[in-house]
Amino acid sequence: GRMFDERDLSKAYDEGYEDGRQSIAVEERREHRENYKNFTFGLYGGANSTRFEGEDVQGNSLSGRLGYQLGFFVRGGGRVFGQIGAEYLTSSSDFYQAGDGSTVSDITSNVDQKYIHVPAYIGVKLAQSDRGISGVRLQIGAEYAAPLGVNNNAFNFSQSDFAAATINGLANIGFDAGPLFLDFVYHYGFADVLNNVSNTKRRILGVNLGVKF
């Protein structure tokens, strides 16, 4: 039989309203954590070194083979995820041409190539934090590689001498630390990059440092 005045009702309403707001905030934070786990956008840059199939690089200068790459990706999924992106990559390689026998010298020239890569992966997080933003990843996939151009070189190679597009296999191991990540990537070329020239399948080892959102 207790009677409630207007102040009691107003207080109860305010408390219920605050409880509701807190519940919504908790749910929004939980949903944000899940979305962070399952959907990620990243930017990265790094360096690479290139050789050709069967090529012995012992004794050759590594500095003449260094290139770089800049790219981005979108990753979706949980413990098992998919990833697709694009990158601009410069690839430097030593080309060799035997002399004609009239001299003792042979021709060796460094050829710089520019490529657009479109890599796609399937990956698994071998270990991860509760929120999923830190951990260790293993990824495998393939990429579409299209040449954009080539530098001036002793062989007079031009873009027309390179295959219009090739496919590379990919293997990646990555380490996430909050928003930062470090990736080691191996590109395995399945086709020769030079038209009518054998043993020009590329093997590229790259390292990337980036940030994800």
DSSP-based three-state secondary structure for 177: strand
pLDDT digits (tens, 9 = 90+) for 3-56: 656 666 666 666 666 666 677 777 776 665 555 557 899 999 999 998 888 666
Residue with tokens 């495998």: 140
Residue 124 to residue 91: CA distance in whole angstroms: 28
Residue 158 has a pLDDT of 82
Residue 50 to residue 140: CA distance in whole angstroms: 19
pLDDT higher at 131 or 128 = 128
**Which H or E run contains 37?**
helix 6-38
Residue 102 has a pLDDT of 45
pLDDT higher at 72 or 134 = 72
Residue with tokens 């990559």: 89
pLDDT at 110 over 70: yes
pLDDT digits (tens, 9 = 90+) for 159-199: 888 899 999 999 999 999 999 999 999 999 999 998 887 88
- Decide if 69 contacts 90 (C-beta within 8 A): yes
Residue 82 to residue 176: CA distance in whole angstroms: 16
Residue with tokens 């190539």: 113
Nearest to 71 by CA among 44, 90, 94: 44
pLDDT at 143 over 90: yes
Q: Quick one: average pLDDT of 67-85? A: 94
Q: Quick one: average pLDDT of 121-132? A: 88
Residue 23 has a pLDDT of 73
pLDDT digits (tens, 9 = 90+) for 57-68: 555 555 557 899
Task: Name the percent of the chain lying above pLDDT 90.
Answer: 45
DSSP-based three-state secondary structure for 20: helix
- Decide if 121 contacts 71 (C-beta within 8 A): no
What's the pTM value of the predicted model, to 2 decimals? 0.76
Residue 78 has a pLDDT of 84
- 3-state DSSP helix/strand/coil % of the chain, to nearest 5: 20, 55, 25
Residue 32 has a pLDDT of 58
